[in-house]
Amino acid sequence: MIEITQVTTKKELKKFVTFPFKLYKNNKYWVPPLIKDEMETLDLSRNPVAKNAEATYYLASKNGELAGRIAVIVNHLEINEQGKKKVRFGWFDVIDDLEVTKALLEKVYEKGKELDLEYAEGPVGFSNMEKAGILTRGFEEMNTMITWYHHPYYAEHFEKLGFKKQATWVEFRLKIPPEIKDKVAKFSGIVKQRYGLSVIRFKNKKEILPYVDSMFDLLNKTYNTLQTFVPIQQYQIDYYKEKYFSFIHPDYITCIKDKEGKLIAFSVVMPSFSKALKKANGKLLPMGWWHILQAQKKNDLAAFYLIGIDPEYQGKGVTAIIFEEMQYLFNSKGINTVETNPELIENTAVQLLWKDYDPVQHKERSTFRIDL
């Protein structure tokens, strides 16, 4: 017997957050999130995304045992201002039982029909700043801290239930050479001189914060033509600034300004925390913090998280400046491999950035859609 119950208490939310720990307990590729961080993200009394989104969480049980979870999400900004009549769903995990998947998705359909929406799509988060997509390739690769891991049967369930792929992201592994490529260094110098550009270097975390708003503004400008785009609101920027940016080491942020001092491009990379989070197993105490600290200090793998370039400067070689700075950083830190963040498969402009670094596509993920 399958039973679907709505999460209404903090104790039930804890069950919702920790269900994947049981589902993937013996999976060496699944990277657990920090439980406290997930609890805070899903608590809409604390997450300002509630200003334009709402969510309801459900747990599935089969014969008295937890068997799945799902978040049903409505992004009012997306619906009312962008005209996308979509009900979202995310934080989807399930045992290999098609009937359990079907029962969980019924809650998505109910909400969509209640609001007279046209289709359902997921898995996605509250906005385009969260994780998205069912893993469809790369099941023997560890996920990064900004992606979900899934069993192969997830996509099979969606296809059997009539869903079609909507958005697809690809991820690449890049090899970092021991020395900077001459043509990168030469081209970087030419671009700097031609457009009067210079690199902003930060000595400490405090110096980063005044630039964060401009970084998110560039993200909005960089990606506003992509199909999954939802504008990042100022209250979300303030939230991310407080929650994440104070923890990013200044060495891993590259910012480029024009001769008037305006920010025209930036990139954020970080040491890979996948192995550290695996060891932490959802908790900073007693030793999780130590594993994360060690990953920051000594690591041969990095993750490329964000890149934003003002449309006025796209295609003008600004990426050569970014790669020159990254190359110096990686070589100084002993990093020889980098994973990219998920990139929409049609975003060939971004994928061309990696062509000189022996890119190998090692993961792929998609959202799935069904008309209501």
In the prediction, which pLDDT does 245 show?
66
Per-residue pLDDT of the chain (372 residues; tens, 9 = 90+): 999 999 999 999 999 999 999 999 999 999 999 999 999 999 988 888 888 899 999 999 999 999 999 999 999 988 988 888 999 999 999 999 999 999 999 999 999 999 999 999 999 998 877 899 999 999 999 999 889 999 999 999 999 999 999 999 999 999 988 888 777 888 889 999 999 999 998 888 888 888 888 888 887 776 666 555 666 777 777 777 777 665 678 888 999 999 998 999 988 888 999 999 999 999 989 999 899 889 888 899 999 888 888 888 888 888 889 888 888 899 999 999 999 988 888 877 777 778 878 899 999 999 999 999
Alpha helices in the chain (DSSP H): 10-23, 35-42, 76-80, 98-114, 153-160, 182-195, 212-223, 234-243, 274-280, 288-297, 318-333, 348-351
- Whether residue 47 contacts residue 236, with contact meaning beta carbons closer than 8 Å, is answered with no
Q: Tell me if 301 sits within 8 A of 335, measured CB to CB.
A: yes
pTM for this model (two decimals): 0.90
Q: pLDDT value at position 115?
A: 96
CB 362 within 8 A of CB 143: no
Local structure of 120: helix, strand or coil? strand
Q: Please work out, in degrees rounded to the nearest 5, the angle formed at the alpha carbon of residue 139 by the alpha carbons of 136 and 142.
A: 120
Q: Can you spell out the DSSP letters for 224-287?
A: TTSTT--PPPHHHHHHHHHHTGGGS-GGGEEEEE-TTS-EEEEEEEEE--HHHHHHHTT--TTT
Q: Are 344 and 337 in contact (CB under 8 A)?
A: no
Sketch out the chain's domains with CATH numbers: 2-170 (3.40.630.30), 177-335 (3.40.630.30)
Helix (H, G, I), strand (E, B) or coil at 69: strand
Check residue 229 and give its pLDDT. 64
| Distance (Å, whole) CA 25 – CA 245 | 31
pLDDT at 202: 87
Return the structure tokens found at 136.
């469809």
Triad 272, 212, 242: Cα angle to 5°:
75
